[in-house]
A and B are shown apart, each in its own frame.
Chain A
């Protein structure tokens, strides 16, 4: 049986033009409700939300721009969500 491939490895298949100067998603670092945080951590297809030592962390690098975190969190963990600027972010070559 094939082994489980990590999300980080999978993101490596893709073409990204990461915009270092603009985070198109911002989170509320002080948000504490564990159940809500857990949902967002499980939801993100790119595994960009981490919950460690009672704190939620996030990096927009590798974002697949799906919008799932915004919808699942209902404004609670994710403070603001936008598309990256034009030309930035993921470039799908297959789709």
Chain B
């Protein structure tokens, strides 16, 4: 294999890498995809819900064939205290087509399917191999080294995910800092399709996304999530790494606490646990994107390039991963036409990303991480909401307090007018 030179080597068979490889193969280029897992998807974890617009652009009609779980038709947001929960449920009632829809998804199944599609398109797949480093000649990336075996290509696309040790080695990216990433910890629990339909009041093929702030993380920055799959539930928590140690509860215990919450336990009771997983989520937003997404002979995309928005209640990175893989391929196809893989030519990728929805959306939420740093949101807001709701609905025959006065009182107990105003300003800035 070492004698051969490929047009491109893609490192990482997640959504970003699979998309890049698929597009290059469609353009008749010789492309090798190397994945460290046994098969593509075997190392990948998401929440998750995939917004399908970017996959739809890539493979129109894919949703009919792909192993997607349920189309999300109901959104539930919950503010939780130790025992209470204020739930808000929303259903648009509109029948979204796949340019606007979202589906629950299990990545081990989805990526495996996608890898078969890429292979059919002509990608040479090499799973079960870890890439150790990029090969550099005269300051230019010329290939990769995997366990002593060297493979060469005109260009290497790094789609190796959030722990992109390879782009750190090349100096394209610095080591992750605790405030830039959150740890996601998740379980998949099997339940009958019909039981899920009943518990969530949904039809076959339709599902609910539940996003939770407050108690699951004990006021730490982060939250809980629950997605209905076809015949299982994905349930997990996301907690910012810089907050770990703020309270004396471990990450796995936060997940247990969430699962046992009185408002959550009935939703999963009787289920059979299938898997326990963990994964980091980039959440530094726009300011975390590496300054340069390319160098001589190399590009980075997906989580490796930190293309993720974390809105606290929801994480979105999969549609960005797909789009960035597609744009990386587009730049590489142009570079091939020009016969030049220097940083100058590959800088087209940066241009394409900056002109895409990836940048527009990430820019729009650029101040969001700042808002999320405010612990009031995860601590006080759910508690105040809980107190107010409790007052509203508890009847005990004693003298009633007028609700507005009670609300003002509860808020005043926890914060000052200045702090509140300050929070509102940060919130407006973030939105």
**Closest residue of A by beta carbon distance from B244:** A43
Residues of B within 8 A of A71 (CB): 175-178, 181, 241, 280
- Contact present for B278 and A46 (CB under 8 Å): yes
Q: Would you call B42 and A39 a contact (CB within 8 A)?
A: no
Q: Which residues of B contact A43 (CB under 8 A)?
A: 183, 241, 244-245, 250-251
Complex CA–CA separation, A2 to B106 (angstroms): 25
Are B265 and A1 in contact, CB atoms less than 8 angstroms apart? yes
- Most central of A41, A71, A90 by chain B CB within 10 Å: A71
* Chain B residues closer than 8 Å to A1, beta-carbon distance: 260, 262, 265
- Could you mark each residue 51-84 of chain A with 1 if its beta carbon is under 8 Å from any beta carbon of chain B, else 0? 0000000000000111110111010000000111
Q: Tell me the bound Cα distance from A66 to B176 in angstroms.
A: 13
Give B149 Cβ to nearest chain A Cβ, in Å. Answer: 11
Q: Which of B41, B146, B183, B274 contacts A66 (CB 8 A)?
A: B183
Contact B165 A47 (CB under 8 A): no
Contact (Cβ within 8 A) B252 A47: yes
Contact assessment for B46 and A86 in the assembled complex, using a CB-CB cutoff below 8 Å:
no
Say whether B196 faces chain A, with CB atoms less than 8 Å apart: no
Q: In chain B, residues 36-69, which have Cβ atoms closer than 8 Å to a Cβ of chain A? A: 36-38, 41-46
Interface contact B259-A66, CB-CB below 8 Å: no
- Within 8 Å by CB of B275, from A14, A35, A87, lies A14
Is the beta-carbon distance between A65 and B43 smaller than 8 angstroms? yes
Binary A-proximity of B172-184 (CB < 8 A = 1, otherwise 0): 0001111001011
Residue B129, interface by CB 8 Å:
yes
Q: How many residues of B contact A (CB 8 A)?
A: 59
Report if A86-B146 is in contact (Cβ < 8 Å); known contacts: A38-B245, A95-B46, A95-B109: yes
Contact of B273 among A13, A68, A74, A91 (CB under 8 A): A13
B interface majority secondary structure: mixed
Q: Given B262, B274, B279, which contacts A94 in the complex, CB threshold below 8 Å? A: B274
Counting CB contacts under 8 A, is B339 at the interface?
no
The residue from A72, A87, A93 contacting B108, defined by CB atoms under 8 A apart: A93
Q: Measured between C-beta atoms, what is the minimum distance from A21 to chain B in Å?
A: 14
In-complex Cβ contact of B45 among A70, A83, A95 (8 A): A95
In the complex with contacts A4-B260, A66-B183, A68-B183, A92-B108 CB distance below 8 A: yes
Q: Say yes or no for B98: interface residue by CB 8 A criterion.
A: no
Q: Taking A1-B260, A14-B275, A42-B245 as contacts, is the C-beta distance between A94 and B109 under 8 angstroms?
A: yes
Asked whether any CB of chain A lies closer than 8 Å to the CB of B147, the reply is: yes
Q: Chain A residues near B146 (CB, 8 Å)?
A: 86
A94 to B253: give the CA distance in the assembly, Å: 22
A86 to B39, CA, bound (A): 10
Q: Are B250 and A94 in contact (CB under 8 A)?
A: no
Question: How many A residues, CB 8 Å from partner?
Answer: 42
Residues of B within 8 A of A74 (CB): 178
A94 touches B188 (CB 8 A): yes
Known contacts A39-B244, A95-B41; decide if A10 and B280 are in contact (CB<8 Å).
Answer: no
Kindly provide the distance from the CB of B277 to the nearest chain A CB, expressed in whole angstroms. 6
Contacts of B250 in A (CB 8 A): 41-44, 47
B244 touches A42 (CB 8 A): yes
Write out the residue numbers on chain A whose beta carbons fall within 8 Å of the beta carbon of B245: 35, 38-39, 42-43
Candidates A41, A42, A66; contact of B278 at CB < 8 Å: A66
Q: Is B430 engaged at the interface, CB distance under 8 Å to the other chain?
A: no
Given the complex of chains A and B, what is the CA–CA distance between A65 and B265 in angstroms?
28
Question: Max chain B CB contacts within 10 Å: which of A7, A17, A47, A86?
Answer: A86
How far does the alpha carbon of A84 sit from the alpha carbon of B107 in the complex, in Å? Answer: 20
Query: In chain B, what residue has the closest Cβ to A68?
Result: B183
Determine the distance from Cα of A87 to Cα of B412 in the docked complex, in whole angstroms.
56
B254 to chain A minimum Cβ distance, whole angstroms, is 10
- Chain B residues near A46 (CB, 8 Å)? 252, 278
A23 at the interface (CB under 8 A from B): no
B252 touches A95 (CB 8 A): no
Given A91-B38, A92-B275: A45 and B244 interface contact (C-beta under 8 Å): no
Q: Within the complex, what minimum Cβ distance (angstroms) separates A2 from chain B?
A: 6
Tell whether, in the assembled complex, residue A2 and residue B275 are in contact, meaning their CB atoms are under 8 Å apart: no
Flag if A64 contacts B37 (CB, 8 Å). no
Is the CB–CB distance between A94 and B38 below 8 Å? no
A31 to chain B, nearest CB (A): 16
Q: Is the CB of B277 within 8 A of A4?
A: no
Q: How far is the CA of A8 from the CA of B162 in the complex (A)?
A: 26
Query: When the two chains form their complex, are residues A72 and B163 in contact, meaning their CB atoms are under 8 A apart?
Result: no
Q: Mark B244-272, 1 if CB is under 8 A from A, else 0.
A: 11001111110010011010010001000
| Besides A7-B276, A46-B252, 4 other A-B contacts (C-beta < 8 A) | A17-B38, A42-B245, A70-B163, A95-B106
12 contacts between A and B (CB under 8 A): A11-B276, A13-B274, A14-B275, A42-B248, A44-B250, A45-B251, A46-B252, A64-B279, A72-B241, A83-B165, A94-B234, A95-B106
- Those 3 A-B pairs whose CB atoms lie nearest each other, nearest first: A95-B107, A95-B108, A45-B278
